[in-house]
Structure 1
Amino acid sequence: MVRHATWAIGIVLCLCQAASAEPLVYEGASGPGVGKHIVFLAGDHEYRSEETLPALARILAKRYGYKCTVLFTVDPNTGEIDPAADNMPGTKTLDSADLAVIFLRFKNLPADQMQPIVDYLERGGPVVGLRTATHAFKIPKDSPFARFDFQYPGDDYSRGFGRQVLGESWSGHYGKNHVMSTRLDPVPSAKSHPILRGVERPWVQAGGYWTEPMEDSVVLAMAQPLESMKPTASPAPDKSPCPGAWVRTYSGKDGTKGRVFTTTYGASEDILDEDFRRMLVNATLWAIGDEASITPNMNVDFVGEYHPVTFRFGGHRRGVKPADIKEFDSPIYDPESPVVVPPRKKRK
């Protein structure tokens, strides 16, 4: 009898784990995106991509009709969202994707999870890259995927996915987080670009990254670090602006050109700014080829409650599974979900 009970419990646990591994999908019903599929990849250690990306996915699905699949890095034992995990079930959904929105940091995924990402890039699928996507992968030199590493030294794919696809790899901080916020000033010569329709002067709470995008990039906005965490703050006196948002194309294996939008911002608190959120929504429509549908007054309001936590290493909400936010009106996330911030390690 005990043996049967144990067997039954095992079956239930397996079923629960299988359910928790199901990708999160928001189905759009009407709008320019009907019939098109966007796949979001969330998994960074600090900037709360697990909050930013489902919030954007809901806007694009509910307001513009796209099918939006959101993938998270999860604990393989519990199915709970774990931004630091090197485990992202469901990347095979990229096979049917019309656009990939990538917000990863230092990932080294198992081969069966990494290969669909490689296949997508090799077919020249369009990409939107946020913040740490410039250093999305940190992969050992003996891996068959080593060329995607953010520091890859080979001339065949210099500085990896970040440089070769997004146009820039990790080049260092340029403005201190939680001390210096950033203003994004649209470049006058790019003001007519569809991504900047209705965009005036985005303000983001994340500090800057230094960037020198590849020469074939078209810079849309310059990032100006500010003296404080107020949008009206003066520019930091020792920091000139550098590119903070740009577009380019890259080539797939057969020469197919894929559109790319990159911004070095996108933290969960950054998208509280309507101007910046509008830029991201516009960029998504442009990258997927729907720029004709972009208008200056598009609705970019959040769908459902949005409760971002202050971004920091290890500061994600604990005990959350993708299924917890499967409904359009499920809060992102339950504000009662605990946030455990680990103590900073003392430098030796």
Structure 2
Amino acid sequence: HPFKHYDWRYNGEKNQWQGGFGKLVLGETWVAHHGRHKQQSTRGIIADESHDHPLVNGIDDGAIWGPTDVYRVRTPLDADAENIIMGQTIDRTGDFDDTDTLYGMRESDDKIAMDIMSDDPEKTYNPNLPMPPLVWTKSYQLPGGSSGRALTSTIGASTDMLDEEVRRLFVNAVYHLLDMEVPEKANVTIVGSYTPSAFSFHDDEHWDTMHLLVEDQIWPKR
């Protein structure tokens, strides 16, 4: 298939595409969950070298938060990659709630995770030593094609977007990647209502019962 090399599992003859689009263009592809899914949340810590970076304009250190767990990233990243935000794994302090959009996790949770079971049930590891990159920038060169710049974030699920600083991060990124001046503190107030669903997998029957139509997703409503 002509698009096979874009897949994150690609390990074919096109050496520069090993790891697919993610590895070549973004700097990393899917690896694994780093924190415990639905049990631990993510707090964004500004990388030591990036406190003055325009991407963090209007964002306090540690203010980025999302209920999704930190994703594993193999380090070091490419030599031209620049870490912007590191992902701190946070334990849930309240009870797990499968009916809650955030599964019982809250931005006020402040217990830094110290150990997680690995794939080997006899071993644990500290997910915060070191913290993996959460947001980074890099340049890329497509084989025989264009060059460009990319920003990669492993936070950004629909429920993560409830956080003002997560939204500001992405707005800042748009300005930055377009070579425009990043506002000191961009207005990221939600327009209209925003009630995201919890991250989860659903079978086909679930979507059949939803009866979703394209016209239902258009905003503002006609």
TM interval, short-chain normalised: 0.7 to 0.9
* Contact kept in structure 2, 1:199 and 1:296, CA below 8 Å: no
* Contact kept in structure 1, 2:16 and 2:24, CA below 8 Å: no
RMSD of the TM alignment (CA)?
1.8
Q: Which runs of 5+ in 1 are unaligned?
A: 1-142, 331-348
- The amino acid of 2:70's aligned partner reads G
Matching of residue 311 in structure 1 with residue 188 in structure 2: no
* Contact kept in structure 1, 2:85 and 2:134, CA below 8 Å: yes
Output the CA distance in 2 between the equivalents of 1:325 and 1:148: 29
- The amino acid of 1:165's aligned partner reads V
Output the CA distance in 1 between the equivalents of 2:59 and 2:41: 18
* Contact kept in structure 2, 1:168 and 1:214, CA below 8 Å: no
Determine the structure 2 residue equivalent to 1:250: 140
Secondary structure (helix, strand or coil) at the match of 2:186 reads coil
Q: Which runs of 5+ in 2 are unaligned?
A: 93-104, 116-126
1:219 counterpart (46, 61, 83): 83
* Contact kept in structure 1, 2:137 and 2:152, CA below 8 Å: yes
Determine the structure 2 residue equivalent to 1:158: 18
Q: What displacement does 1:208 show?
A: 1.4
Determine the structure 2 residue equivalent to 1:7: none
Determine the structure 1 residue equivalent to 2:47: 187
Look at both structures and tell me which one has the larger radius of gyration over its CA atoms.
Answer: 1
1:207 counterpart (59, 69, 72): 69
Percent identical residues: 31
Superposed CA deviations along residues 64-117 of structure 1, whole A, max 9, x for unmatched, are xxxxxxxxxxxxxxxxxxxxxxxxxxxxxxxxxxxxxxxxxxxxxxxxxxxxxx
Output the CA distance in 2 between the equivalents of 1:214 and 1:249: 9
* Contact kept in structure 1, 2:140 and 2:150, CA below 8 Å: yes
Going from structure 1 to structure 2, the CA distance change for 1:254 and 1:158 (only over 3 Å counts) comes to closer
Q: What displacement does 1:178 show?
A: 1.8
Superposed CA deviations along residues 301-344 of structure 1, whole A, max 9, x for unmatched, are 1111111011101277922223223233x4xxxxxxxxxxxxxx
Determine the structure 1 residue equivalent to 2:97: none
Output the CA distance in 1 between the equivalents of 2:156 and 2:201: 15
Matching of residue 169 in structure 1 with residue 29 in structure 2: yes
RCO (CA 8 Å, sep 6+): is it higher in 1 or 2?
2
Secondary structure (helix, strand or coil) at the match of 1:222 reads strand
Secondary structure (helix, strand or coil) at the match of 1:261 reads strand
Determine the structure 1 residue equivalent to 2:165: 275
Determine the structure 2 residue equivalent to 1:287: 177
1:230 counterpart (106, 112, 117): 106
Q: What displacement does 1:253 show?
A: 5.0
2:217 counterpart (303, 325, 345): 325
Secondary structure (helix, strand or coil) at the match of 2:23 reads helix
Aligned residue-pair number:
185
Output the CA distance in 2 between the equivalents of 1:322 and 1:288: 30
- The amino acid of 1:152's aligned partner reads Y
Superposed CA deviations along residues 139-183 of structure 1, whole A, max 9, x for unmatched, are xxxx12111110111423110001001100111111122210010
Output the CA distance in 2 between the equivalents of 1:321 and 1:287: 33
Deviating beyond 3 angstroms after TM superposition, the runs of 4 or more aligned structure 1 residues are 252-256
Going from structure 1 to structure 2, the CA distance change for 1:289 and 1:320 (only over 3 Å counts) comes to farther
* Contact kept in structure 1, 2:151 and 2:173, CA below 8 Å: yes
- What is the 5 A alignment of 1:1-348? 143-154=1-12, 155-200=15-60, 201-212=63-74, 213-228=77-92, 229-231=105-107, 232-238=109-115, 239-240=127-128, 241-252=131-142, 256-290=146-180, 292=181, 294-314=182-202, 318-328=210-220, 330=221
Q: What displacement does 1:275 show?
A: 0.7
* Contact kept in structure 2, 1:207 and 1:225, CA below 8 Å: yes
Q: What displacement does 1:188 show?
A: 2.5
Higher helix proportion, which one?
1
* Contact kept in structure 1, 2:171 and 2:186, CA below 8 Å: no
